[in-house]
Amino acid sequence: MKNFIYPAVVLYDDESKIFTMYFPDLTIVAEGESVEDVFFNGKKYLNKYMELIVRESLELDPPSSYEAIKKDYPQDLIVFVECILNDKNKAV
DSSP-derived secondary structure letter, 15: T
CA atoms within a 13 Å half-sphere pointing along the CA-CB vector of 68 = 10
Q: Single out the residue of 10, 23, 11, 19 nearest to residue 64, CA to CA.
A: 23
Q: How confident is the prediction along the chain (92 residues), in pLDDT tens digits per residue? A: 999 999 999 999 999 999 999 999 998 999 999 999 999 999 999 999 999 999 999 999 999 999 999 999 999 999 999 999 999 999 99
pLDDT of amino acid 10: 98
Counting beta carbons within 10 angstroms of the beta carbon of residue 84, is it exposed (0 to 12), middle (13 to 18) or buried (19 or more)?
middle
CA distance 4 to 39: 16
Domain 2-85 in CATH 1.10.3720.10? The answer is no
The domain spans of the chain are 2-85
Please tell me whether residue 51 adopts helix, strand or coil conformation.
helix
